[in-house]
Structure 1
Amino acid sequence: MERPNTLAVSFKARAEKGKDGVAPLYLKLTVNKVVREVSLKYSVDLKLWNSRKGRPKLITDEMRQLNTELETEAGLVLKAYKEIEREGDVLNADAVKNRYTGINQPEAAYTLKILMSEYEKDQKPDMEWGSWKNYVTTYRYISAYVTDQYAANDIRVSKMDHAFMAGFKTYIRENPLIPHRPAGQNGLAKHIERVKRMVNWAQQSGKLAVNRVEKYRAPKKKYVRKYITEFELLDLETCKLNDPVQQMVRDFFIFAVYTGVSYGDLMALKPIDLVVGLDGQRWISNQRLKSENYFLVPLLHQPLAIIKKYWEDERSIEREALFPYISNSKLNTELKIISTARCYSRPLRFHDARHMFATYITLAKNVPIESVSKMMGHAKISTTQVYAKIVAAKVKEDMTILQARLDQQQPTTVKLLEVSMEEIIARHKSLSNKTIEPENRLSAETVDYQTEEAEQSCTVETPSLSYRINYVVSK
C-alpha cells in the first residue's frame, strides 16, 4: 500500500549566523522526511526565542506580531503543498520549496530572472553601453541577494515588496562587488531606482497585476559640487606636460571646457559635425548620445586650435573622427595624476569640464540660460537651472571670502572714559577741519575712525552708554 505524503513546517533561529544576540530566522519544511530550509526576512532576539517550540516567546507585542507573521508563512507553505498535490505534479521537498519561494509557480511564474531578461531585450537596444552597464551591475547585486538571502536561484516578482527592497539596499551596502569600495548613498538609490523601473515596466506591460515596490523610497543625498578654480584652469592650459598622453588628455579636457561636450559626445565627433554658422564661423552640431537631443556650439579660439592640432593625426583619420580614441577610465586616471601633481584643490574628472562650461564659461559670464541649455543639449531648461544655482552659490562664496578680508582690516579705535556729543563733533572738526553733521545715532561698543572723502563714522564707548555715529562731511 502506498504511503501518503507528509508535510511538516517549523522555524529555527540560526544563532551561528547572528550577531549581538540577534539571529536570523529560517523556515524548515519537511516532506516525506526530506528537509529543506528557506531564509526568512525576520530576525529575533535569542532571549525572546523558544528554541524547543520553534516560536517566539509571547511576552511583548512585537513577539506576538512576529508569531502571527510566522503563522502566515507556514500557511503559504501549506498552500504551495496543496496546489502541487491538486495539480498532480511530483510532490517532494524541493517542489514545495520552489513553489513557496516563487519558482515554477504556474500563474505567478513571472520571476525576477524572466523580468530582467525581457527588460534587457526591450530596453537595451535603445541605451548606450555606458547606461546599460549600470543595469548589469544592478543585475549582479540583486541575483546575489536572492541567492544569499532567500536560498533560491530566483524569486517571483509578485513577492518583491517593501521588505525585499529594504533588504536589498542593506545587502548592497554590506556586500560591495569591489572589496573596500562600498556604494554610497546615491549609488544605493540608483540601484533601487533601476529595480523599481524594471518592475514598473512589467506592470505597464501587463505582466504584473500589483506593483508592491512602487512606493519604496531610497533618498538621495544632495552634494554641493566643487570644481577647480579659474586660476587652476589657467594653470592647466599653460603648464608644461612632457607625457604625450597627458598632453592629449589636457587638450580634450580644455576642448570640453569651452564646448560643454561629454566624453561620449567628444569621441563621437566627426568632421561632418563641423558646420559654418550664419556668422561665417565654425560651429559643432550633433546629437547627444545620452538623450538624443541636438546641441549646437560655436567654436571659440581654444577648441578650434585643438581641432586643428588633431585634424591630420593618423589615429583620428583611422577612426574617421575629429580626435584619437582614449577610454573614459584612462582619461580620468590621467586627469587625476595631472591635478594631483599640480596640487589642485580637488582631483579632476572629465565630466567636470562640462560643468565648468555651464558655470564659469557661460552662465557666470552672463550668457542667457536658454542659450546654455541649447548648447548643452538639455531637454529641459530645469536641468540647466541646476548650474545657475551653482553660479549663485559661487558668488556667495566669493563674497563671503571678501567679507572676511574686509573684517581683517581693523579700523583705528579710540576709547574715551566720558564724552559728550559736542565733544565728539569737536574732536572730528579738529581732525578734519571740516563741518561735520550727525546723521545717525546707534548703539555700539567701540569707537572707529574711518577716513573717507565724503563720509566718516565713529563709535563711542562710555561707562554709561555707547554710540555708533555716521557723519557726513560738508565740504
Structure 2
Amino acid sequence: MKRSTFKILFYINRNKQKKNGKCPILGRITIDGTNTQFSIQEDIEPGLWSVEKGCSIGKGKDCKALNLKLEKYKEDLKLHYNRQVESNAYVTAESLKNALLGIGTHEVMLLKEFEVHNKEFFESIGITRVKSTYKSYNTAYNTLGNFIRYKYELDDIPFSHLNYTFIEEFDFYMRVTMGYTSNTRHGRIRMLKQMVMRAIKKEVIRNNPFADYHVKSSPGERKWLSREELDVIMQTPIKRISVNYVRNLFIFSAFTGLAFIDLQTLKWDEIFTDKRGMQWIRKKRSKTDTEAIIPMLDIPLQIIKYYKGSGKDGRVFDIGSYSLVLLYMQELRGLLNMNTLGFHQARHTYATTVCLSNGVPIETLCTMMGHRNISTTQIYSKITKKKIDEDMQILEKTIDRKYSLPKQMQNPPLQNTNNHIQQG
C-alpha cells in the first residue's frame, strides 16, 4: 500500500476571540489533501502564539504545559495513524480524529482486562489454582499500573496502543527505576505477555506486539544446609515449645522434601504403607499439581508419631500461618547462631545433603521432589558438584603440610624417569 501524506497542524481561531482576549486553539489533520478540525479545549492570547511553529512562544508554566499537551496530541495521532495503516490498510482524516477523541470506539483496556483475569484466577483458588500464584499476578498488576502512571500519566492503556517500545520501556522501568532482578522482571513480563495472548484469543487484537521480546531469567540460587549444620539444628536443645515445634517441622521437611504449603496441608490419608511395611507419602504438590512419592525415613516417622493427634480435619500437623512460622524461624536462627535460615532451605537440604550426596539417583529424586521434569532436579545436581568442590578445598587446607613425600622424592631427578624404571 502506498503511504498517505499525513500532516498535523495546530492554529488559533482569531475569528472566535473571547472577551478575555484569548483565542481557541484548534488542530487540523490532513491526509491526502482532505482535512478535518478538532478543538483541544485550550485558549491562548494571540501574542503568545507562533503561527510558523504552531505552538506557544510564552515562557510561563501554562505555556510550557500547553506545548507538552500539543506534543502529546501529535504523538497520539501518529500512533493512531500507524495502527490504522497496519490494521486496516486504509486511513482517513476523520477516522484519525475519531480515534483520537474516542468517538465510535470501545477500546479494551490492559489493566482492566488484567483485573478481570485476576478475579477469575481468585475464584479458582483451591480448585485449579493456588493462592501464591494469585499473589504474584496481583503484584505484576500493581507494577504494571505504577509504570503506566509513571510513564504515560494514565490510569490505563488500550491493548491497541501496545507496541514494542511499551515493553522495552516497562523492562527499563523495572530494571533501572525500580532495581528489580532479572528473575523478577522475567516473571512480570511473562504475565504481561499472558494478558496480550488472552487479548489475542478474545480477538481484541490480531498480532502480538511483544512476540520478539525476551528477558532471560537466571537460575535461582538454592541454599542448602551441610550435614554438620543440619546436625546442629537437630541436636540443639530448644526450651520454647512453639520454636521447638517449628524446628521439628523444619527437620521433617529436611527429610521428606515437602515445601511449607504441602507440609501444612499434609493429611493422614496421603500416607500409606506398602506390602513390606514401609511407609510413604503420596501427595500432589500445591505449586505444580504434580504428585510427589516420598519414602518415609526413620526421623520423619518419629516426628509424626510424636505429634500424632495434634492435627485437625485429618491433617498430620497443626500449623499456623506462614508469617507466624517465619517469626519462630527468626527466633530459631538466633538460638542456633545462624546468619541465614529459611524454611524452604529444608527442601533444598533434602535434595542435596540427604539424597544426592548419599547416592540417590537424580531420576528417583525427581519423582520424590514432585518435579514436572528432570531439568528442575538437575539444578540440585549442579549444587552438589559445587558442594564437593567446596569440601575438597576445605580438605586441602586441613591436610596441608600434615603429609610429606619421602626425602629422595622431594627434589626432582635430573635424568629421565624411564632410566630409573629400567635400572630398577
- Per the TM superposition, whether the score is higher than 0.5 is yes
Q: Secondary structure of the equivalent of 2:215?
A: coil
1:139 paired with 2:141, answer yes
CA shift for structure 1 position 268: 0.9
Q: 1:296 to 1:410 in 2, by over 3 A?
A: closer
Q: 1:370 to 1:157 in 2, by over 3 A?
A: same
What is the alpha-carbon distance in structure 2 between the residues aligned to residue 471 and residue 69 of structure 1? 89
Q: Secondary structure of the equivalent of 1:259?
A: coil
Which one of 7, 30, 40 corresponds to residue 31 of structure 1? 40
CA shift for structure 1 position 247: 0.8
Q: Secondary structure of the equivalent of 1:226?
A: coil
CA shift for structure 1 position 114: 3.3
Which one of 365, 384, 390 corresponds to residue 383 of structure 2? 390
Q: Which whole-Å deviations, capped at 9, do the CAs of 1:38-92 have from their partners, x for residues lacking one? A: xxxxxxxxxxxx99599xxxxxxxxxxxxx99966554478898338669xxxxx
Q: Secondary structure of the equivalent of 2:360?
A: coil
What is the alpha-carbon distance in structure 2 between the residues aligned to residue 468 and residue 70 of structure 1? 86
1:450 paired with 2:402, answer no
Percent identity, aligned pairs only?
25
What is the alpha-carbon distance in structure 2 between the residues aligned to residue 186 and residue 403 of structure 1? 36
**2:225/2:353 contact within 8 Å kept:** no
What is the alpha-carbon distance in structure 1 between the residues aligned to residue 57 and residue 417 of structure 2? 82
State the match for 1:426 in structure 2: none
* Structure 1: tracts of 5 or more residues without a match: 10-28, 36-49, 55-67, 88-94, 177-181, 412-448
What are the equivalent positions in structure 2 for 1:429-468 lying under 5 Å apart?
Answer: 449-450=405-406, 457-460=409-412
Q: Which structure would you say has the larger RCO, counting Cα contacts within 8 Å and 6 or more residues apart?
A: 2
Q: Which whole-Å deviations, capped at 9, do the CAs of 1:323-345 have from their partners, x for residues lacking one? A: 1122222323322332244233x
What are the equivalent positions in structure 2 for 1:362-401 lying under 5 Å apart?
Answer: 362-401=355-394
What is the alpha-carbon distance in structure 1 between the residues aligned to residue 92 and residue 58 of structure 2? 23
Q: Secondary structure of the equivalent of 1:459?
A: coil
Q: 2:299 corresponds to which letter in structure 1?
A: Q
CA shift for structure 1 position 355: 0.9
What is the alpha-carbon distance in structure 1 between the residues aligned to residue 212 and residue 410 of structure 2? 62
**1:457/1:471 contact within 8 Å kept:** no
**1:457/1:469 contact within 8 Å kept:** no
What is the alpha-carbon distance in structure 2 between the residues aligned to residue 394 and residue 51 of structure 1? 68
Q: Secondary structure of the equivalent of 2:192?
A: helix
Q: Which whole-Å deviations, capped at 9, do the CAs of 1:265-306 have from their partners, x for residues lacking one? A: 111111111211132122111111111111121211111111
CA shift for structure 1 position 367: 1.1
Which one of 329, 351, 354 corresponds to residue 361 of structure 1? 354
State the match for 2:108 in structure 1: 110
What is the alpha-carbon distance in structure 2 between the residues aligned to residue 382 and residue 116 of structure 1? 31
What is the alpha-carbon distance in structure 2 between the residues aligned to residue 471 and residue 229 of structure 1? 47
What is the alpha-carbon distance in structure 2 between the residues aligned to residue 146 and residue 81 of structure 1? 28
CA shift for structure 1 position 320: 3.0
Q: 1:367 to 1:282 in 2, by over 3 A?
A: same
CA shift for structure 1 position 146: 1.4
What are the equivalent positions in structure 2 for 1:249-398 lying under 5 Å apart?
Answer: 249-313=246-310, 316-317=311-312, 319-344=313-338, 346-398=339-391
What is the alpha-carbon distance in structure 2 between the residues aligned to residue 113 and residue 390 of structure 1? 40
What TM-score does the superposition give when structure 1 sets the normalisation length? Answer: 0.66
What is the alpha-carbon distance in structure 2 between the residues aligned to residue 281 and residue 372 of structure 1? 18
Q: 1:470 to 1:356 in 2, by over 3 A?
A: farther
Q: Secondary structure of the equivalent of 1:275?
A: strand
1:214 paired with 2:166, answer no
Q: 1:175 to 1:460 in 2, by over 3 A?
A: closer
What is the alpha-carbon distance in structure 2 between the residues aligned to residue 143 and residue 268 of structure 1? 34
**1:459/1:468 contact within 8 Å kept:** no
What is the alpha-carbon distance in structure 2 between the residues aligned to residue 469 and residue 222 of structure 1? 50
Q: 2:147 corresponds to which letter in structure 1?
A: Y
Q: 2:333 corresponds to which letter in structure 1?
A: S
CA shift for structure 1 position 122: 4.9
What is the alpha-carbon distance in structure 2 between the residues aligned to residue 205 and residue 458 of structure 1? 79
Q: Which whole-Å deviations, capped at 9, do the CAs of 1:90-118 have from their partners, x for residues lacking one? A: xxxxx73xx4xxxx8726x1210232134
Q: 1:337 corresponds to which letter in structure 2?
A: E
